[in-house]
Amino acid sequence: MGIDGNNILAESLKRQGIEYVFGIVGIPVIETSLAFQAAGLKYIGMRNEQAACYAAQAIGYLTGKPGVCLVVSGPGLLHCIGGMANAQVNCWPLLVIAGSCPEDHEGIGGFQEWLQVESSRQYSKYAARPPSPRLIPLHVEKAIRYASSGRPGVAYLDMPATLLTAEADEDKVPLDYYSADPVSLAHPNPVLVNEAADLLSKAERPLIIVGKGAAYGKAEEAITKLVENIKVPFLPTPMGKGVVPDESQYCVSTARTQALLGADVILLLGARMNWMMHFGQVPRYAANVKIIQVDIAPEEFHNSVKSEVAVHSDIKPFVEALTNKLAEKKFSLQNNSPWWQALKEKQKKNTEFVKAQAADKSLPLNYYAVFKAVQENIPKDSIIVSEGANTMDIGRGILLNNKPRHRLDAGTFGTMGVGPGFAVAAAQWCRDHAPDKRVICVEGDSAFGFSGMEIETMFRYKLPVIIVIVNNNGIYSGFDKEMMTEIQNSGDLAQCTPPTALSTEVRYEKMMEMFGSSGHFCRTVEEIENALKSAIKVTDRPSIINIAINPQSNRKPQTFNWLTESKL
């Protein structure tokens, strides 16, 4: 019996445990998508390849198994490149599969001909074109292994039209090529566990930083136990939120600057000392701070600052071993230690500022008042997708996560436009694996604009994502209608319109009218509350809640100027 490349590819993916494919089809992958569905894979057709690529990588982060992004040749693949870079930089598993022009058209100006494998190589750990239909299963296994083992990342498979339609003898195709099940956990060297325990137990001002590597490594139980045993303050990174609940008494997010600055020993669990962590350097950290770094990727060791102890291990077995060692030493930090006292004082002060802002309901609303209303009216343990500059930064402190892998945002690459794609994936995953859980997609108006048309994807697949648009008429900040009119009347539009401005009073919620439905436009806290209450009742389509806020609303004054401290 003959079997063609499309069906070999579909069967191979299925047997390697792939569950979801996101993509946009056209020549030559329409039959491929049909073969995928016939093999039992779930296929979600999207409106923009970049969003499809974001959706597929969100599945990888949420489940540990890469999502597949299926696209057409040439421009189809090139539109994915931003998404591939995002997944690589975030260390998230992803498998991109693109059709490509027939091999006998290569070099003579084939339709959508492009050097696809070469183009993908910079953005992936593995990029290959299977040389024959018989070898597809081997390359699928390898691609998935590369994407999901070690430090996760991207794999690319190139599928020429000729390969997709070529037939092979079914008996000769090794469909049951060995499985790309995750490799067993990497355990730490016990000598290094001892060193880490020694250092930590002698610290006066210890701090634990929990990154999204810990979330990806499913280390939540182990880390929560460690924190509760040793009573040491911890700081989650943006997507490390929820590994230990944000509402834990040991979470010091509200005194972040102080915690980083004061710590004498830092236990770094699945986070990188990059821009997000201010490079681990002065002036954001003490000059002599000692770092215990735990990472699955030893090439990450000593990045920017030298670690005192660098442990090559999965987070979970390391933390379990460390917890045992520290129990032997009977180490735990006293509640009334000067370190805890200082942090608590700072937490109190910062919390008061936020409370006062949030209580200010004067119109147009400020960010804090909006996020308080959102936080108080969304179901507990919803998955929160968030992007936009101020929207994401201010929202992070107020929208709480008490469960791991429940926050998806612009991430290490600071990518805007990820929200709708992430939300599609999260909502589809919830439908299949956690039907009572909701996805709340909190977007700045600018961020929403990148991929807003994915609202049609959500509608088509009946995904009840609640999209909250925090609308300030611009990028970072905007202008009100009168001001904008005045500015635009002052000269040539392309010369006087501020580059950060967007149109004022845009009624994004009316996009729901395209589907014969309706959205919510809010100016007050009460309107936000009512809109959320009614959106939560809707379970068979997305909702849009468009909130007009003060275009000049801003974040709390910061001690340090973000990103702009020069190192030169």
Per CB under 6 A, residues contacting ligand ADP are: 90-91, 151, 211-213, 216-217, 237, 239-240, 270-272, 274, 276, 295-297, 300, 314-315, 412
Name which of Mg ion, ligand ADP, none residue 446 binds, using a CB cut-off of 5 to 8 Å depending on partner kind: Mg ion
Strand ranges in 326-406 using DSSP code E only, listed in sequence order:
383-387
Half-sphere exposure of 164 (CA within 13 A, CB side): 25
- Minimum CB separation of residue 423 from Mg ion in Å reads 18
Question: Does 33 help bind Mg ion (rule: CB under 5 A)?
Answer: no
Strand partners, 254: none
Q: Which CB, 412 or 546, lies closer to Mg ion?
A: 546
**Which of residues 137, 444, 452, 464 is near Mg ion by CB under 5 A?**
444
Strand partners, 470: 444, 547
Name which of Mg ion, ligand ADP, none residue 445 binds, using a CB cut-off of 5 to 8 Å depending on partner kind: Mg ion
Quick check: 342 and 262 in contact, CB under 8 A? yes
Name which of ligand ADP, Mg ion, none residue 52 binds, using a CB cut-off of 5 to 8 Å depending on partner kind: none
User: What is d(CA 502, CA 553) in angstroms, rounded to the nearest whole number?
Assistant: 15
User: What is d(CA 439, CA 426) in angstroms, rounded to the nearest whole number?
Assistant: 7
- Minimum CB separation of residue 119 from ligand ADP in Å reads 24
Considering only the stretches 300-308, 347-355, 418-426, 465-473, report the one whose residues sit in contact with Mg ion under the rule CB under 5 A.
Answer: 465-473
Quick check: 23 and 42 in contact, CB under 8 A? no
- Minimum CB separation of residue 403 from ligand ADP in Å reads 16
Considering only the stretches 191-199, 416-424, 436-444, 513-521, report the one whose residues sit in contact with Mg ion under the rule CB under 5 A.
Answer: 436-444
Name which of Mg ion, ligand ADP, none residue 406 binds, using a CB cut-off of 5 to 8 Å depending on partner kind: none
Q: Give the residue from 545, 563, 422 showing the smallest Cα distance to 92.
A: 422
Question: Does 457 help bind Mg ion (rule: CB under 5 A)?
Answer: no
Which residue sits closest to ligand ADP, CB atoms considered?
213
Name which of Mg ion, ligand ADP, none residue 239 binds, using a CB cut-off of 5 to 8 Å depending on partner kind: ligand ADP
Determine if residue 505 is left, alpha or beta; phi over 0 gives left, psi from -120 to 50 gives alpha, anything else beta: left
Give, in order, the Cα–Cα distances in Å from 104 to each of 32, 111, 167, 511. Answer: 20, 11, 17, 45
Q: Which CB, 158 or 445, lies closer to Mg ion?
A: 445
User: What is d(CA 302, CA 528) in angstroms, rounded to the nearest whole number?
Assistant: 46
- Minimum CB separation of residue 445 from Mg ion in Å reads 4
Q: Which CB, 347 or 446, lies closer to Mg ion?
A: 446
- Minimum CB separation of residue 295 from ligand ADP in Å reads 5
- Minimum CB separation of residue 446 from Mg ion in Å reads 5
Neighbour tally for 105: CB within 10 Å: 16
- Minimum CB separation of residue 325 from ligand ADP in Å reads 18
Q: Is the sign of the CA dihedral 340, 343, 349, 354 positive or negative?
A: negative
Name which of Mg ion, ligand ADP, none residue 409 binds, using a CB cut-off of 5 to 8 Å depending on partner kind: none
Neighbour tally for 253: CB within 10 Å: 17
Q: Which CB, 343 or 440, lies closer to Mg ion?
A: 440
User: What is d(CA 57, CA 297) in angstroms, rounded to the nearest whole number?
Assistant: 19
Q: How is residue 393 written in tokens?
A: 């930064």
Give, in order, the Cα–Cα distances in Å from 496 to each of 489, 499, 504. Answer: 9, 9, 16
- Minimum CB separation of residue 70 from ligand ADP in Å reads 26
List of residues contacting Mg ion (CB under 5 A): 444-446, 472
